[in-house]
Structure formats: C-alpha cells, structure tokens
A = this chain, B = another copy of it.
Amino acid sequence: MHELQRVIELDSGAQRGADQGGSHSQLVPPDAMRAVEEQLVVVIPCMNETRRVIEGVLSGIPHDCLIILVSNSARTPVDRYEIEVQSLEQFCRSAERPAIAIHQRDPGLAAAVKAAGMPELIDDEGLVRTGKGEAMLIGMAMAAMTGRRYLGYVDADNYVPGAVNEYCKAYAAGLHLASADSPYSMVRISWHSKPKLRDGRLFFSRRGRSSEVTNMFLNRLVAEYSGFGTEVIATGNAGEHALSLELGMRMRLAGGFAVEPFEYVELFEQFGGVLPVVATQVLPHSVPVLQIETRNPHFHDNKGEDHVKGMRMQALNVLYHSPVALPAVREAILEFMVSEGALAPGQEPPRERIYPPVGSLSFGTFLDALSSEATSFRQVGRVLADIDRHPVG
C-alpha cells in the first residue's frame, strides 16, 4: 500500500523522458497514459442525474476509454434511462466513440445474471438488486467481456468535467506505474477538497464526513497488526477508483455503499495485503494500491445527512464482520456505532451482502442471454460484437 501521492500538473508535457521527473516526483509520459487509456473501461453507475450533468461527465472521459453506463434511474413516469441513452448516443455520435449502456433493473439482465451463475445478485422481485455495489459488479462483468485490461469507476453526479478527466488521467498514470510491478493493481482517488454550502457560503472541505470515519477504522486495523499508528489509508470510501481486471475478476464485491471500503477488507482477507494474516488466495504477485490526491475539487450534489450516515455504517459493518478485524477494532466500532445512535447497546451490526468474484460468471452464457433478453442493453458501435468469451483473468 502506497502513501498518498499528489498530482502536481494536470498536463506534464510531452517533451521530457519518463525518468526526468523532479527528484520527488514521477512523470508518466502521454504515450504511456494513452496506452493504458486504450485498455481502460470506464464504468459510470448512474441514478437519476440530470442530462446536463451526465453530458458533462461523458465529456470528461478521455476519448480512448470505453464508456459503460450502468443505470438505476427511474423509468416511470418519465423514462429517465431512455433520456440517458439518448444523451450517450448523441455524445458518442459527435465524438465518434463507442459505448455500452444497461439498466440495472432490466428483467433480461437478471435472467442473464442467473443463467451465468450468480443467483446471489437477484432479489425477491427476480431483478438484480438495487445498490451501488451491485451496479459496479454488473459494470465489471460487462467490462470483462470487452477484452480490455483495466476498469475505472466514475460517479455520475459530478459537476466538474475537468475533475472526471483528471480522475481518468490519474487512473492511467497510476495503473501504468503499478503495472510495472504486478498484473494486479489498484488506483484510488483522494479528492483535494469538496465544496460545501455552510451558512450560505461556500467552504472547501478537505475531508468527507464518511471517509474520515472509514479511514480511521481501516488505519486502526492496520495499526493493530503492525503495532504502529498510521494514516496510510486515505481512500477507504473512494468512489473513484480503478483496477486491473486481472485483480477485479478475483475479488469479491460487497453490495450497496459497502462496496468501496470492502475492497480494502477483501485485499486484506483474500490477498494478505499489509496484514500478516493467512490469505485464502495466494497470488504470485503483490497487489500495489496507489492512492492519488487529485487537484480538482470534488463537486457534486449534496445527498443529505442520512446518505452519509448510511455509507459510514455500511463501511463499518463489513469491517466489523471481517475475520481480519481484531477484537480491539471490533470493540471500537461497536462503541462508535452506539454513540452515533446507529446501534442499540448489545446489538451486533448487520451484515452486508458479499458477492462471489465476477470471474466466476459464465461469460458466454451471460452475453447470449443479455443479447437476447435484455431490452435495455444498448451498444453504440457494437463493442461486444466479437466478444472474448474467455475474458481477462
């Protein structure tokens, strides 16, 4: 796990060699970034954002990246998904680039998921469960079928196209650097600041309300094992993150908003990571996790206090129930949740859903069912026409 790194320039020029960064900086030349972008799928989980905001996010994604929109937007009374697909198609026409879109609650998608072997993802209505983690899982499954090597996530509720662009550039730079060491790599974004309204004024907050708590407990866990206090983890809740599909296909994902912090827990549980625990999978390579602080403010809609509290608690639920959590950490989590009024004294935190690795899906079956049954499934440019039925990983 690497200490937080900072972006110095959004564009570092083309004229210098890769080894000519300053003594404390690393320089990734444009060609290297381009090479990663050509292998990068960007998945956008989306729910009820305005057309204007979506158009901005799309415009920020570098041209060579492949866009996959996974929407859980309302389809009645107005079919917002249809509007999103129209925006996507219009953008792709102007920019001459391909894309894929799917609706999370499409019965045809549920049928394909079931047929491909992941019934855990289906709810009582027979549809893919709602939730961000579930959307990300679907996105990863689609990404795996494109044959590309990398996957990055970008939230749809971002008012700053330039920030989206910087996230993708940071993914490309980070994946390039990390891939030198290992086929398994992850890049997580720590945004520079978050503009918030406070007393009718704008205030640039350095920390997210949810991230602060998640990072604190993750760092506490690392500290309990190492015996040294640490603040190494700065990206526990990072919605913006990217990884090699070779890694992604082997990871279990959590449902809902537990998905991002659970990635750390999963790295600890399954692959050892910084913790000297017996990993259940032994990988032939280490898993470098780069954390990058970007320059742009992370400027999005305020989803309210309940949303933040929910995110925070879901993060703690997965940490609490992880076999790697030591008693002292569990105790601290319980105390915190009770003090927040999120748990009655003596109760246990609820368990979050944990899904099997995406790599366990039968992709041939998945695509066949998707093509024949999922009416919301759209391709601009027939990306999956020549599907690689033996996807990466």
A8's contact among B25, B91, B195, by CB below 8 Å, is which?
B91
CB distance from A41 to the nearest CB of B (A): 15
Does A393 lie at the interface of the complex (its beta carbon under 8 Å from any beta carbon of B)?
no
Is A165's CB under 8 angstroms from B200's CB?
Answer: no
Is A63's CB under 8 angstroms from B13's CB?
Answer: yes
Q: A56-B295, A295-B60, A299-B299 are in contact. Are A10 and B94 (CB under 8 A)?
A: no
- Which residues of A in the span 88-142 have a Cβ within 8 Å of any Cβ on B? 91, 93-97
Q: A9-B63, A9-B95, A60-B10 are in contact. Are A162 and B197 (CB under 8 A)?
A: no
Is B10's CB under 8 angstroms from A162's CB?
Answer: yes
Q: Which residues of B contact A91 (CB under 8 A)?
A: 8
A166's contact among B9, B97, B162, B299, by CB below 8 Å, is which?
B162
Does A161 lie at the interface of the complex (its beta carbon under 8 Å from any beta carbon of B)?
yes
- Which residues of A in the span 16-41 have a Cβ within 8 Å of any Cβ on B? 16, 20-22, 24-25, 30, 34, 37-38
Q: Which residues of B contact A15 (CB under 8 A)?
A: 38, 64
Q: A34-B14, A94-B22 are in contact. Are A162 and B200 (CB under 8 A)?
A: no
Q: A22-B96, A96-B22 are in contact. Are A11 and B62 (CB under 8 A)?
A: yes
Does A4 lie at the interface of the complex (its beta carbon under 8 Å from any beta carbon of B)?
no
Identical subunits present: 2
Per the bound structure, the CA–CA distance linking A162 and B298 in Å amounts to 11
CB distance from A301 to the nearest CB of B (A): 9
CB distance from A91 to the nearest CB of B (A): 7
A95's contact among B8, B14, B56, B97, by CB below 8 Å, is which?
B8
Is A22's CB under 8 angstroms from B59's CB?
Answer: no
Per the bound structure, the CA–CA distance linking A202 and B50 in Å amounts to 14
A12's contact among B63, B159, B204, by CB below 8 Å, is which?
B63
CB distance from A9 to the nearest CB of B (A): 5
Does A7 lie at the interface of the complex (its beta carbon under 8 Å from any beta carbon of B)?
yes
- Which residues of A in the span 221-270 have a Cβ within 8 Å of any Cβ on B? none
Is B59's CB under 8 angstroms from A10's CB?
Answer: yes
Q: Which residues of B contact A61 (CB under 8 A)?
A: 9
Q: Which residues of B contact A162 (CB under 8 A)?
A: 10, 60, 160-163, 165-166, 295-296
Q: A20-B96, A64-B13 are in contact. Are A59 and B161 (CB under 8 A)?
A: no
A297's contact among B160, B204, B295, by CB below 8 Å, is which?
B160
CB distance from A40 to the nearest CB of B (A): 12
A93's contact among B13, B20, B22, by CB below 8 Å, is which?
B22
- Which residues of A in the span 334-374 have a Cβ within 8 Å of any Cβ on B? none
Per the bound structure, the CA–CA distance linking A207 and B59 in Å amounts to 21
Is B63's CB under 8 angstroms from A161's CB?
Answer: no
Q: Which residues of B contact A62 (CB under 8 A)?
A: 9-11, 13
Sample 11 A-B pairs with CB under 8 A, ordered by A number.
Answer: A7-B59, A10-B62, A11-B63, A15-B64, A21-B96, A59-B295, A161-B166, A162-B163, A162-B296, A195-B299, A200-B200
Excluding A13-B97, A60-B295, 16 further A-B contacts by CB distance (< 8 Å) are A8-B95, A9-B63, A9-B95, A10-B60, A10-B165, A11-B165, A13-B62, A14-B30, A25-B94, A56-B295, A56-B296, A159-B195, A160-B297, A161-B296, A162-B163, A162-B295
**Which residues on A are within 8 Å of B, measured CB to CB?**
7-16, 20-22, 24-25, 30, 34, 37-38, 52, 56, 59-64, 91, 93-97, 159-163, 165-166, 192, 195, 197, 200-202, 204, 295-297, 299
Closest 6 CB pairs of A and B: A162-B162, A13-B63, A11-B62, A161-B295, A10-B165, A162-B296
